[in-house]
A and B are shown apart, each in its own frame.
Chain A
Amino acid sequence: MITRAAHEMSAAMASGEISSVELTQAHLDRITSVDAQVHAFLYVDTEGALAQAQSVDDARARGESVGPLAGVPLALKDVMAQQGIPTTAGSKILEGWRPPYDATVVSKLKAAGVVILGKTNMDEFAMGSSTENSAYGPTHNPWDLTRIPGGSGGGSSASLAAFEAPLAIGTDTGGSIRQPAAVTGTVGVKPTYGGVSRYGLIAFSSSLDQAGPCARTVLDTALLHEVIAGHDVHDATSIDAPVPQVVRAAREGSVKGMKIGVVKELNGDGYQAGVRSRFEESLELLAKAGAEIVEVSCPNFEYALAAYYLIAPSECSSNLARFDAMRYGIRVGDEDGASAESVMNLTREVGFGREVKRRIILGTYALSSGYFDAYYGSAQKVRTLIMQDFNKAFTSADVLVSPTCPTTAFKIGEKANDPLAMYLNDIATIPVNMAGIGGMSLPCGLAPEDGLPVGFQVMAPAMQDQRMYSVGAALEASLLSQWGAPLLSQIPALVGAK
């Protein structure tokens, strides 16, 4: 049962084949059995999960109509505030903090009857591409435990691949949903900026951050998307418009007559051979399914990475000023006569990890008087150019596609001491965040040279998220008929797992 898709689990509960309590317990048992190896979870809320499952079972027994994901377990990225549940964002500075409120995404999940199993590991404050920057140790990729599961949402993606949960929530500032999805053979969607509320999402870079759904199938991702999306008065950047019809698009899965633009600049040199070959094969499948494949050029994308590593650190240096040891989180050095400033300085020194400090200092530099125009100001102009590139490309294509990442999962430790090499992982995912549009990654096979999953990225104009699901579902169906079984059926069994 735990290897099934979320919508199949839901059907099994509706038919009485299994209860939500049984389903939840099966996932909790799986976590107990494998998570010592995977380390996807920072906290497991056994009691809360079983209580929510029981209440869904009770509602069903009373004959009440429940939502399509009611009773289905989910793994929540630890960057989302959940009332009374430890929430750390992967940082030491928030160790022991239990939020007094729920993020809007969490409220919506609870209202939909989704069972939250626990909080998943992540790079500290979502800064990273490997989950190695977590203050609580790395997460391991279930395809190969010596490799990274992507980041920052490596815990969420690994939990899906390890069958610890069929659904997960991620957040994506520069690729933190899509890159982990790509390297674990799972599906992840960064919705249009403003499509899902950021209220209760611990902020990293506010103009780029976006929460989104993760799952093992395109349809499951769409079902979760509809649960968490929608306007929220608690988020001033939330879009007050109807949620795109992503479930319908995922069910139909049609690309007939669609124009699919291959971004010339997000392919070629620097992309692993097996990534390129799987990507090309997927294009052929989409053409066979009735899409027209065209090539588009986005010449300014080559500056996106540089602009991102100015804008995101600048915003983070400001956002993370809130961790001042005064209202929540740890406090260090509060001894007789110590000043507030010295306590703040000591707490931030002890509480923040290396990458977070690096980005705060970089952002502080980029925003300094005298350097502002040369760095932050120039990066904002590049942002304009990237949006113009997208606008132009979308005049000749309905969606744009590329490999999600230049390579498959690398080894834990391989890039830990080379920030620039690490940043290059996000080269194909960052443009989407800069423009605030939607992006999806879905698995398109294993690279022949290393047997590891490859991600296929679909990008759609703002508030046209349903187009990603049309393409994703069509490609998924074509691949499935070729493979005969989902890609994850090829994942090696975790040694020691029951």
Chain B
Amino acid sequence: MSAMSNLSRSDVAHLAHLARIDMTDPELDALANELDVILEAVARVQEVATPDIAPTSHPLPLRNVTRPDVVTPSLTPAAALSGAPASEDQRFRVPQILGEEA
């Protein structure tokens, strides 16, 4: 894919795969067109983003926050599992994760 738009259906399909969304072909086609327009608009940031400017990731200076290593109340297993689509023996039950294609 090129840096400045003209995304194809297969470009978007690759992105959809990375994002783990099983999109239909009409969705991919529509999105390819929309992304072209949006990317052209947002690419304006490159006009002023010169090498001498430091990037900002966050409005506040971030530092790691820790607390004393003591046991505090937390969710019970039943509460933690209460929203699970499937559970078994106090654990989340998930579909097959081994032996699938990479």
Q: A: which residues have CB within 8 A of B?
A: 97-101, 193-194, 207, 233, 236-237, 239, 300, 303, 306-307, 309-310, 317, 321, 324-331, 334, 337-346, 348-349, 352, 357-358, 360-362, 364-365, 368, 370-371, 374-375, 377-385, 387, 419-420, 434-437, 462
Measured between C-beta atoms, what is the minimum distance from A251 to chain B in Å? 29
List B residues at the A interface (Cβ < 8 Å). Answer: 3, 12, 15-16, 18-24, 27, 31, 34-35, 37-39, 41-50, 53-60, 62, 64-65, 67, 75, 79-80, 82-86, 92, 94-97, 100-101
Contacts of A346 in B (CB 8 A): 22
A193 and B59 within 8 A (CB): yes
Cα A327 to Cα B81 with chains together (Å): 7
Asked whether A307 lies within 8 Å of B45 as measured between CB atoms, the reply is yes
Q: Which of B31, B54, B84 contacts A357 (CB 8 A)?
A: B31
Measured CB to CB, the nearest residue on chain A to B50 is A381
Q: How far is the CB of A300 from chain B (nearest CB, A)?
A: 7
CB atoms of A334 and B100 under 8 A apart: no
B85, A377: Cβ atoms closer than 8 Å: no
Q: Would you mind naming 15 contact pairs between A and B with Cβ atoms under 8 Å apart?
A: A100-B79, A207-B58, A339-B96, A340-B96, A357-B31, A361-B21, A368-B18, A370-B3, A375-B39, A377-B55, A382-B45, A382-B49, A387-B56, A419-B34, A419-B38
Q: Which residues of A contact B59 (CB under 8 A)?
A: 193-194, 207, 387, 434-437, 462
User: Known: A233-B67, A236-B65, A309-B38. Contact between A381 and B20, CB under 8 A?
Assistant: no
Q: How far is the CB of A195 from chain B (nearest CB, A)?
A: 11
Among B27, B43, B60, the most chain A Cβ lie within 10 Å of the Cβ of B60
Which residues on the A side are within 8 Å of B95 (C-beta)? Answer: 334, 338-340, 342-343
In contact, A327 and B84 (Cβ under 8 angstroms)? yes
A138 to B97, CA, bound (A): 38
Would A364 and B15 count as touching, CB distance under 8 A? yes
- Chain B residue nearest to A328 (CB atoms) is B83
Q: Select one of A100, A325, A343, A377 contacting B82, CB under 8 A.
A: A100
The smallest beta-carbon distance between A416 and chain B, in angstroms, is: 13
Residue among B12, B20, B31, B62 making CB contact with A344, cutoff 8 Å: B20
Across-interface contacts of B48 in A (CB, < 8 A): 300, 303, 381-382, 385
CB < 8 Å: which of A236, A328, A378 contacts B84? A328
Alpha-carbon distance between A321 and B43 when the two chains are bound, in angstroms: 25
A98-B82 in contact (CB<8A): yes
Interfacial chain B residues near A379, Cβ < 8 Å:
42, 45, 49
Q: Could you tell me if A237 and B41 are in contact, using CB atoms closer than 8 angstroms?
A: no
The answer to whether A381 touches B53, judged by C-beta atoms less than 8 angstroms apart, is yes
- Which residues of A are found within 8 Å of B44, using beta-carbon distances? 303, 306
Cβ–Cβ < 8 Å partners of A338 in chain B: 95-96
Most buried by A among B24, B45, B80, B85: B45
Q: Which residue of A lies closest to B35 (CB)?
A: A362
Is the Cβ of A361 less than 8 Å from the Cβ of B86?
no
Besides A100-B83, A364-B18, A385-B48, 19 other CB < 8 A contacts?
Answer: A194-B59, A233-B67, A236-B64, A307-B42, A309-B38, A317-B19, A326-B84, A337-B96, A339-B96, A342-B100, A345-B21, A348-B22, A349-B24, A362-B38, A370-B3, A381-B56, A384-B56, A419-B37, A434-B59
Provide the residues of chain B in CB contact with A324, threshold 8 Å.
Answer: 20
Pairs of residues from A and B, 6 with the lowest C-beta to C-beta distance, nearest first: A436-B59, A328-B83, A380-B55, A331-B85, A378-B49, A345-B22
Kindly provide the distance from the CB of A36 to the nearest chain B CB, expressed in whole angstroms: 29
- Give the CA-CA distance A53 to B31 in the complex, in Å: 48
Which residues of B have CB within 8 Å of A420? 37-38, 41
Smallest CB-CB separation from A339: which chain B residue? B100
B54:A381 contact, CB within 8 angstroms: yes
Q: Is the CB of B12 within 8 A of A361?
A: yes
How far does the Cβ of B86 sit from chain A's closest Cβ, in whole Å? 7
The residues of A that contact B22 with a CB separation of less than 8 Å are: 342, 345-346, 348-349
Given contacts A346-B22, A348-B21, A420-B37, contact A97 B55 (CB under 8 A): no
Write the nearest CB–CB distance from A134 to chain B, whole angstroms.
19
Residues of chain A with a CB closer than 8 A to B45's CB: 303, 306-307, 310, 375, 378-379, 381-382
CB B31 to nearest CB in A, in angstroms, measures: 6
> Which residues from B are CB-within-8-Å of A307?
42, 45
> Is B97 touching A360 in the complex (CB atoms < 8 A)?
no
Contact B57 A365 (CB under 8 A): no
| A330, B43: Cα distance in complex, Å | 36
Chain A residues with CB under 8 Å of B19's CB are 317, 348, 360-361, 364
The reply to whether A358 and B100 contact each other, CB–CB distance below 8 Å, is no
Do A340 and B56 contact each other (CB < 8 Å), given the known contacts A100-B80, A329-B83?
no
Nearest-Cβ distance from residue A78 to partner chain B, whole angstroms: 15
Chain A residues, Cβ within 8 Å of B79: 100-101
Of A233, A365, A434, the residue contacting B15 (CB under 8 A) is A365
Complex-state Cα separation, A337 to B19, whole angstroms: 22
Which of B46, B60, B65, B67 is within 8 Å of A374, CB to CB?
B46
Which of B15, B39, B85 touches A329 (beta carbons < 8 Å)? Answer: B85
Most buried by B among A329, A384, A462: A384
